[in-house]
A and B are shown apart, each in its own frame.
Chain A
Amino acid sequence: MPSDPKIQKIFRPDDRTSSDIPLTESPVHAGFPSPADDFLEGSLDLNSLVIKHPEATFFARVEGDSMQDEGIVEGNILVVDKAVEPYDGCLAVAYIDGEFTLKRVRMEPDRILLVPANPKYPVIEIAAGQDFSVWGVVRWIVKQV
């Protein structure tokens, strides 16, 4: 079945779109069944690739250029998974000083660093007691070429 082109379908994280039943195209009563029927697997769903935890997945839009050396630029869409535990070196949406920021997170024994990918920007060291949290870990980046 062709999927409904409603916008909602595309951007709501949705795990109901896959099916275990192979779809068959040729009507049962037709003369020769298609030899491909037994091998049909349904179509590929991009959601199943980029969304591992539908309930925990949120989208965010990039502003600024501090990550440009990793190819992440203004307007790119981030697929953020809050279920993933932050790990050393992860790309994360962090919340610091009242705003969301995108950086690599370095976890050292006695401190946390937010590392940009653009020499114009300084590395941010998180001071003890500073208002900081990792909001979610970035799993995929959607960008138009």
Chain B
Amino acid sequence: MYGLCDCNNFYASCERVFNPSLEGRPVIVLSNNDGCVIARSNEAKRLGIKMGQPYYQLRKLIRREAVAVFSANFTLYGDMSRRVMSLLRKSVPAIEVYSIDEAFLDLTSVDEGRLDELGHELARTIRRHTGIPVSVGIAPTKTLAKIASKLCKQYPKLNGCCYMHRPEDIEKVLRRFPIGDVWGVGRRWAQLLEKNGVRTAWDFTQLPQAWVRQRMHVVGLRMWSELRGEPCIGLEQHPADKKQIATTRTFDRDIDDFEELHRRIAQYVAVAAEKLRGQHSICGEIHVFILTNRHKENMPQYYENQLLKLPVPTDSTLELTEHAVRLLRQIFRPGYAYKRAGVILSDLRSKSGMQTVLFDATDCAKHDSLMKTVDALNNRFGHHRIGTAAEGFEPFKMNRNHLSQRYTTDWLQIIKVKS
């Protein structure tokens, strides 16, 4: 059996741990720069607030319904996530951290008679130790475990754990489960399937295997088998290094000035390149994009992006900045108000396997030792104390007008207790 432990409305729940007065109140958390909604408490969902909805559209509703609003506090959420994952690691044979608020559990070696009890115990322990409510789904495959954990959220009576193993129970659930909500079914497949009369996960399992293989290939076939209770997707305990590193931001205001965009792009390169070096990779491609504010329909709209294949893969901020700025020059058009930009590093490979190019113009060893020093200094004295001149002297600015404290990682911001 496999399990999935999913934290309920994770970011909103983290805020509630340190502010219990939010219990029972609608809570939303906004993306970087307070752009749009990235987490909602159940009460906020009931008000009809949608995932990804722009903040400015909600101001009236927020005032009327006294919705509590928070800027994303990823330092806090990261620490709370670490606590939840650590408890899981201590309780089951193996886990796969799937995202900041979800982990798959390997329960193959656990006695099946104990699973229901184990799942409830996990939910209780995590709730009591960290304050975070979770939903544990347990089923014969990872795909079914995902569905089981969604059931927990729909039915509070399950008390945080749904152990779904009898074929007749699974059938009953799948018959009511929309195909588009199944793990791994994107919009395109959902459309294809609906066109072929598949509305629920159960309908899908009834399609002929050959059809699935022909139209949805091996990935679709795996999903089909998993829904039929045959495990095909194992636990990935050591997730591969990222295949792509992206640093993209929505600006705190509209920007039409090239110099300002140039500075931002250079800052994003610095962040991405530091991550790249952190996983000991080099990249062979760099991609830069800029776009205008699509919510301001009366303004002229523009989107452009450009990809560059690097002659020699690198992890040097200096080289990457040079390339990124060149790309920016190519795509920048004056007269537009830009709202978002990003840098994406791809074609990542391991640094140790790097081939030296005989006539490479840059002195790799020199860049290497410089980057090591920069990373060490930034690590020690805080982010972006040291950077390229292109980054400018102003630190990263983000609109975070509703930021809660870093309660668990900064002595000056721990909770205060009246005595």
Q: Interface on A for B, CB 8 Å cutoff?
A: 6-8, 11-12, 53-56, 58-67, 72, 74, 77-78, 82-83, 93, 95, 98-103, 116, 131, 133, 135
B365 within 8 A of A: no
Q: List 14 A-B contacts (CB under 8 A).
A: A54-B86, A55-B83, A55-B84, A59-B415, A60-B414, A64-B419, A82-B128, A82-B129, A82-B131, A93-B417, A100-B418, A101-B418, A102-B418, A131-B21
Q: Give me 7 other A-B pairs in contact (C-beta within 8 A), A11-B411, A54-B83, A61-B415 excluded.
A: A55-B87, A55-B130, A56-B83, A58-B408, A59-B408, A101-B417, A103-B419
B306 at the interface (CB under 8 A from A): no
Interface assignment of B416: CB less than 8 Å from any CB of chain A = yes
Asked if B279 is at the interface (CB within 8 A of a chain A CB), the reply is: no
| Residues on A with beta carbons closer than 8 Å to the beta carbon of B21 | 95, 98, 131
Q: Are B20 and A102 in contact (CB under 8 A)?
A: no
Cβ–Cβ < 8 Å partners of A56 in chain B? 83, 128-130
B404-415 vs A, Cβ < 8 Å mask (1 yes, 0 no): 000111010011
What is the minimal beta-carbon distance from B412 to any residue of chain A, in angstroms? Answer: 9
Given the complex of chains A and B, what is the CA–CA distance between A83 and B131 in angstroms? 10
Instruction: Report B390 CB to chain A, min CB distance, Å.
Output: 29
Residues on the B chain within 8 Å of A101, using CB: 417-419
Contact partners of A63 in chain B: CB under 8 A: 416-419
Enumerate chain B residues within 8 angstroms of A98, measured Cβ to Cβ. 21
Residues of B378-419 contacting chain A, CB below 8 A? 380, 407-409, 411, 414-419
Q: Which residues of B contact A62 (CB under 8 A)?
A: 417, 419
Residues of B within 8 A of A131 (CB): 21
Are A58 and B407 in contact, CB atoms less than 8 angstroms apart?
yes
Chain B binding surface SS class: helix
A59 near B414: Cβ-Cβ < 8 Å = yes
Say yes or no: A64-B20 contact (C-beta < 8 A), given A55-B86, A82-B128, A82-B129. no
Residue of B nearest to A68 (CB): B419
The 4 closest A-B pairs by CB, nearest first: A56-B129, A55-B83, A102-B419, A100-B417
Q: Are B416 and A61 in contact (CB under 8 A)?
A: yes
The residues of B with any CB-CB pair to A shorter than 8 Å are 20-21, 79, 83-84, 86-87, 128-131, 380, 407-409, 411, 414-419
Q: How far is the CB of A131 from chain B (nearest CB, A)?
A: 8
Contact partners of A54 in chain B: CB under 8 A = 83, 86
CB distance from A102 to the nearest CB of B (A): 4
> A102: which B residues are within 8 A, CB to CB?
417-419
Q: Is the CB of A8 within 8 A of B409?
A: yes
A42 CB → nearest B CB, Å: 22
- B417–A78 CB distance below 8 A: yes
Q: Report the separation of the CA atoms of residues A102 and B417 in the bound assembly, to the nearest whole angstrom.
A: 6
A99 and B19 alpha carbons, distance in the complex (Å): 8
Expressed in whole angstroms, the Cα–Cα distance for A135 and B414 within the complex equals 14
For B128, list chain A residues within 8 Å (CB): 56, 82-83
| Residues from chain A with Cβ under 8 Å of B83 in the complex | 54-56
Do A64 and B418 touch (CB < 8 A)?
A: yes
The interface residues of chain A lying within 8 Å CB-to-CB of B416 are 60-61, 63, 100
Complex: A74 Cα to B87 Cα, angstroms: 33
Contact A83/B415 with A8-B409, A55-B87, A135-B20 known, Cβ cut-off 8 Å: no
Q: How far is the CA of A99 from the CA of B418 in the complex (A)?
A: 8
Contact between A83 and B408, CB atoms less than 8 A apart = no
Give Cα distance in the complex from A83 to B411, angstroms. Answer: 21
Closest CB in chain B relative to A104 CB, distance in Å: 11
B contact residues around A59 at 8 Å (CB): 408, 411, 414-415
Contact B419 A67 (CB under 8 A): yes
A105 to B: closest C-beta gap in Å: 13
Closest to A94 in B: B417
Q: Counting chain A CB atoms within 10 Å of each CB, which of B128, B414, B417 scores highest?
A: B417
Docked complex Cα distance between A134 and B52 (Å): 35
Known: A12-B409, A82-B130, A95-B20. A58 touches B415 (CB 8 A): yes
Residues of B within 8 A of A82 (CB): 128-131
Report the bound CA distance from A35 to B148 in whole Å: 60
Bound together, the chains give a CA A56 to CA B414 distance in angstroms of 15
Q: Which residues of B contact A60 (CB under 8 A)?
A: 414-417
Residues on B with C-beta less than 8 A from A67 are: 419
> When chains A and B are docked, how far (Å) is the Cα of A12 from the Cα of B82?
11
Are A66 and B419 CB-contacts (below 8 A) given A8-B409, A53-B129? yes
- Contact B409–A65 (Cβ < 8 Å): no
Are B414 and A61 closer than 8 Å at their CB atoms?
yes
Q: Min CB distance, B7 to chain A, in Å?
A: 13
B20, B131, B419: the one contacting A72 at CB < 8 Å is B419
| Neighbouring B residues of A83 by C-beta, 8 Å | 128-129
